Amino acid sequence: MNLALFDLDNTLLSGDSDFEWAQFLISKGVLDREVHEAKNQAFYDDYKAGTLDIHAFLAFQLAPLSRHDRAELDAWHREFMETRIKPIIGAPARALVQSHLDAGDLCAIVTATNSFVTGPICREFGIPHLVATVPAHEGGRFTGAPRGLPAFREGKIARVETWLEELGLWWGAFGETVFYSDSLNDLPLLAMVSHPVAVDPDDTLRAHAAAQGWPILSLR
């Protein structure tokens, strides 16, 4: 059996679900445009530059979840899927995922974006496992804080290893391990697998992939 791991934002998606979720809430009037749009863009720019403060970002991104009940959030997310996410899922990305599912590989999306936003996207791809940052909740409501280690940079490795252990598996249980990502932030996990693949990579990852002889793939 092989292991296939997929980054989500700007890899399987032709865009960033975290960024789009905040923009969606702004468009709905849930978040104040003047206050939140500039912050959303600034955090996104920091992420692309590899300088993101993940804890400051999560405080910003998870706070709106704590202000609304789950039924309302779920209704908004269904609209978000139709208007913002499905249009940025391309046929090549679906075909790539399906090729690994058809091969019988153990497949998971591994993303720093929180599981409330990404769970339905994972199901849209038919991928059975999600390793993501988990938003904490109490009494059926989100608290606005993360639970446990964010799935970001080296945190992705730790979260994947915990998930594998829960399945009674480890890295050495697989014939091949592959991870697809676009981002310099994923260099730690890319270095862990036997087959790292750069997908529509940023400039830093593209240069690193070329120097290491890693495959470079486009899903656009």
Domain residue ranges of the chain, discontinuous segments joined by +: 3-217
Distance (Å, whole) CA 101 – CA 129: 12
Residue 217: strand pairing partners: 199
Give the pLDDT of residue 55. Answer: 87
Give the pLDDT of residue 219. Answer: 97
DSSP annotation of 220 reads -
CATH 3.40.50.1370 fits 3-217, yes or no: no
Catalytic residue numbers read: 7, 9
Give the pLDDT of residue 47. Answer: 87
Cα torsion 94, 45, 57, 207: sign: positive
**If we measure between CA atoms, which residue out of 2, 216, 217 comes closest to residue 107?**
2
Rounded to two decimals, the pTM is 0.94
Give the pLDDT of residue 63. Answer: 85
Angle of helix 91-102 relative to helix 115-125, nearest 10 degrees, comes to 70
Give the pLDDT of residue 74. Answer: 95
Q: How would you list the strands of the sheet with 195-199, edge to edge?
A: 141-147, 129-138, 106-114, 3-6, 177-181, 195-199, 216-217
Please report, for residues 6, 65, 81, 209, the alpha-carbon distance to residue 93 in angstroms, rounded to integers and kept in the order given.
10, 29, 16, 20
The structure tokens listed for 51 are 């300088």
Distance (Å, whole) CA 77 – CA 42: 23
Distance (Å, whole) CA 147 – CA 118: 16
The structure tokens listed for 201 are 């990579």
Give the pLDDT of residue 54. Answer: 86
The bridge status of strand 195-199 relative to strand 177-181 is: parallel
Give the pLDDT of residue 58. Answer: 83
Q: Residue holding tokens 């789950």?
A: 70
Give the pLDDT of residue 32. Answer: 84
Q: Which positions ≥6 away from 162 have C-beta within 8 Å?
A: none
For every one of its 220 residues, what pLDDT tens digit does the chain have, with 9 covering 90 and above? Answer: 999 999 999 999 999 999 999 999 999 998 888 778 888 888 889 888 889 898 888 888 888 888 999 999 999 999 999 999 999 999 999 999 999 999 999 999 999 999 999 999 999 999 999 999 999 988 888 988 889 899 999 999 999 999 999 999 999 999 999 999 999 999 999 999 999 999 999 999 999 999 999 999 999 9
